[in-house]
């Protein structure tokens, strides 16, 4: 009977994969052995991985992560530090969410206790996880009451509820009685949950179809996580409808392919902009890809950049403010460094971790499980230097226990300088988004981003501004822009870049230092970039075409000069010919 069920489970997993295998969106994990029926954990790691995980938890960094997990659980010895009494809603008051004490119950508290059970083998933690799941099933809301089981704010809010339940079930499987496991499985598989403000109901199939949203909507990717994890969690377990779950997973993976190409581009830009992309990634695509790899042996991470760059794009954009001091009541008060990103679109600003909501958390903790090993090590360096440079760290968990679980599983044991790992120029050809960066070092790094705004859109794409942003030496400038189709592009090894569009507009970024400046950015047109302490702009006539040259320098600025179709800046030359700007000194990227 066990062999028959195993064969059926393997067949179901094969059928679920059939629709997407031909598109080469994933590769099979070498040597993968499917979980046996009733074998758990399987979503983040397998049973054979537990000894190494326990060893990791005993290291100094691991001990800090476990301590952080207990802190966000409210101490780790009782279910929570408190419970929100807010009514379920669709639109939340973020100030009220932030005011909830640390340790207030969340939908991932049961998962946090599940991890403590795995690490210690103490059944009392599994019992606390069970108590938490029971509270969820009778209507206890998250600290952010949009997230709840009985009347969720939207389908993607329900998707996170399912993530919390599935992780708890997966981690506590061996400690929970069989009848309770089946109760949980049946509740999820047969769910029909009502949206809080509409006569609309969600079954697994509805979530797998992304609620009818287009791939360019922030909702689309986030809808997929819950049904995907449910299928991966319960398939093969006693009492599960494997045929139905396989069909759900097949739909989820087909839509995962859609969002990685129609919503996100090939290098991480999202149709609705920065924050909307983080919703689709953090609440959906990133943890889904990790569990597909671990539980189903399907690797969407390594064969192409589409999945990885849903988080890696942020690593190319991030710049720290740098620490400092401010005066208050005659005293010098330290101001911690904060990570910034060049934000475009709704639902946020340049502050990476300003908003107290789930979609603006966990980029590193979850993201490290959805990239290549060396990329995860580069992410660890960026986190250590740009996000939390001090000795006391939260490990990107904020207030959610599941993020501490992901951090413990995913955080690498060493760091690598991003300059040794990541390219200095990335191009999202689908949406026309380009990032050129000179280095990863400190607040004086120079990052140039430009968006040509092409490709599929979403409901909120109109709020996403195109154009070029120049961040460098502490200054933030707008610098014109290109649009439409790209007709010329070259990426330099040092982050230099050449770009031109079909309309005759062109842009170059020079990080070679040949000019004598830290950076030179030039673009066709008369651009009112302004000048700051570290920046100077000049508009020149180059063979009848206006070209604006911007220099960034902490010292003396080189003066650009024109002769015919060529601009000279120090020892660098910029030629304008055939509708494009090209650099005289340029080392192409490998």
pLDDT at 239: 86
* Dihedral class, residue 453 (left if φ above 0, else alpha if ψ from -120 to 50, else beta): left
Give the model confidence (pLDDT) of 33-60 as tens digits: 999 999 999 999 999 999 999 999 999 9
pLDDT of 493-546, one tens digit each?
999 999 999 999 999 999 999 999 999 999 999 999 877 899 999 999 999 999
> What number is the average pLDDT over the span 261-286?
98
Mean per-residue pLDDT over the chain, rounded: 95
What pLDDT score was predicted for residue 529? 83
482 has a pLDDT exceeding 60: yes
Distance CA 530, CA 87 (A): 49
* 220-242 residues labelled b (16+ CB within 10 A) or e (exposed): bbbbbbbbbbbbbbbbbbeebbb
Does residue 19 carry a pLDDT above 50? no
Residue 103 region, left (φ>0) first, then alpha (ψ -120 to 50), else beta? left
CA–CA distance, 292 with 465 (Å, rounded to integer): 34
Q: pLDDT band for position 584 (50/70/90)? A: very high
- Altogether, the residues listed in the chain come to a count of 590
pLDDT higher at 5 or 223: 223
Cα distances (Å, whole numbers) of residue 67 to 44, 71, 211: 20, 6, 38
Report pLDDT for 439.
99
Pairing of strands 497-501, 506-510: antiparallel
102-152 pLDDT, tens digit per residue, is: 999 999 999 999 999 999 999 999 999 999 999 999 999 999 999 999 999
Q: Span 545-564, mean pLDDT? A: 98
3-class DSSP assignment, residue 576: strand
Reading the block at residue 116, the tokens are: 């403590």
Q: Is the pLDDT of residue 13 over 60?
A: no
Domains located in the chain, CATH noted: 2-309 (1.50.10.100), 423-583 (no CATH)
| Cis bond upstream, residue 270 (ω within 30) | no
Q: Is the dihedral of CA 376, 377, 380, 385 positive or negative?
A: negative
394-404 pLDDT, tens digit per residue, is 999 999 999 99
Could you list the beta-strand ranges (E) of 291-446.
298-299, 319-320, 324-328, 331-335, 339-340, 425-428, 433-437
Could you list the beta-strand ranges (E) of 247-350: 298-299, 319-320, 324-328, 331-335, 339-340
* Of 484, 512, 528, 503, residue with least CA distance to 583: 512
Q: Is the pLDDT of residue 331 over 90?
A: no
Which contiguous run of DSSP H or E holds residue 526? Answer: none
pLDDT for res 88? 98
Contacts of 319 (CB under 8 A, 6+ apart): 339, 340, 341, 386, 443, 445, 447, 471
End-to-end CA distance of the chain: 55
Kindly indicate the confidence band of residue 346, based on its pLDDT and cuts at 50, 70 and 90: very high
The model's pLDDT over 82-100, given as tens digits with 9 standing for 90+, comes to 999 999 999 999 999 999 9
Q: Does the pLDDT value for residue 9 go beyond 90?
A: no
Rounded average pLDDT over 434-447: 98
Q: Residue 149 in 3-state DSSP?
A: coil
Cα separation, 497 vs 23, in Å, equals 31
pLDDT score recorded for residue 23: 52
């Amino acid at each position: 009977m066990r062999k028959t069920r195993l064969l059926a489970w393997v067949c179901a997993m094969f059928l679920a994969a059939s629709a997407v295998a031909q598109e080469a969106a994933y590769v099979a994990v070498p040597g993968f052995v499917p979980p046996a029926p009733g074998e758990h954990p399987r979503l983040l790691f397998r049973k054979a991985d537990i000894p190494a995980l326990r060893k990791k938890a005993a290291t100094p960094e691991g001990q800090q992560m476990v301590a952080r997990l207990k802190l966000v659980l409210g101490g780790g010895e009782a279910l929570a530090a408190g419970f929100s009494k807010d009514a379920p809603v669709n639109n939340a008051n973020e100030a009220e969410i932030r005011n909830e004490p640390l340790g207030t119950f969340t939908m991932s508290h049961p998962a946090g206790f599940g991890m403590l059970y795995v690490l210690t083998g103490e059944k009392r933690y599994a019992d606390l996880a069970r108590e938490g799941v029971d509270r969820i099933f009778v209507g206890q809301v998250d600290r952010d009451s949009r997230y709840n089981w009985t009347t969720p704010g939207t389908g993607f809010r329900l998707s996170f509820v399912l993530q919390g339940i599935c992780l708890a079930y997966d981690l506590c499987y061996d400690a929970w009685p069989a009848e309770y496991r089946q109760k949980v499985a049946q509740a999820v598989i047969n769910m029909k949950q009502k949206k809080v403000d509409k006569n609309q109901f969600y079954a697994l199939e509805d979530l797998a179809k992304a609620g009818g949203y287009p791939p360019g909507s922030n909702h689309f990717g986030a809808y997929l996580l819950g049904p995907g994890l449910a299928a991966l969690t319960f398939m093969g377990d006693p009492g599960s409808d494997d045929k139905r779950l396989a069909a759900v997973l097949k739909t989820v993976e087909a839509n995962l392919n859609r969002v990685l190409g129609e919503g996100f581009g090939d290098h991480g830009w999202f149709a609705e902009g920065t924050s909307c992309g983080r919703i689709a990634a953090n609440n959906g695509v990133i943890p889904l890809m990790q569990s597909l790899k671990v539980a189903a042996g399907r690797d969407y991470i390594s064969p192409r950049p589409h999945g990885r760059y849903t988080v890696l794009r942020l690593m190319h954009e991030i710049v720290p403010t740098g620490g400092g001091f401010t005066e208050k009541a005659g005293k010098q008060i330290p101001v911690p460094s904060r990570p910034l990103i060049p934000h475009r679109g709704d639902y946020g600003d340049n502050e990476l971790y300003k908003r107290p909501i789930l979609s603006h958390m966990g980029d590193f903790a979850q993201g490290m499980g959805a990239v290549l090993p060396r990329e995860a090590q580069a992410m660890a360096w960026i986190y250590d230097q740009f996000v939390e440079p001090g000795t006391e760290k939260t490990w990107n968990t904020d207030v959610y226990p599941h993020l501490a679980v992901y951090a413990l599983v995913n955080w690498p044991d060493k760091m690598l300088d991003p300059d040794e790992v990541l390219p200095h120029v990335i191009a999202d050809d689908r949406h026309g988004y380009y990032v050129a960066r000179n280095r990863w070092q400190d607040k004086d790094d120079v990052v140039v981003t430009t968006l040509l705004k092409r490709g599929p859109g979403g409901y909120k794409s109109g709020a996403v501004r195109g154009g070029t942003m120049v961040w460098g030496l502490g200054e933030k400038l707008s610098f014109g822009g290109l649009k439409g189709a790209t007709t010329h592009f070259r990426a330099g090894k040092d982050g230099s870049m050449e770009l031109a569009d079909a309309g005759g507009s062109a842009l170059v970024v020079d990080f070679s230092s040949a000019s004598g400046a830290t950076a030179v950015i030039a673009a066709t047109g008369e651009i009112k970039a302004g000048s700051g302490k570290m920046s100077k702009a000049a508009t020149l006539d180059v063979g009848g075409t206006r070209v604006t040259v911007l220099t960034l320098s902490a010292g003396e600025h080189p003066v650009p000069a024109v002769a015919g179709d060529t601009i000279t800046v120090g020892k660098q030359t910029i030629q304008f010919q055939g509708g494009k700007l090209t650099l005289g000194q340029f080392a192409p990227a490998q």
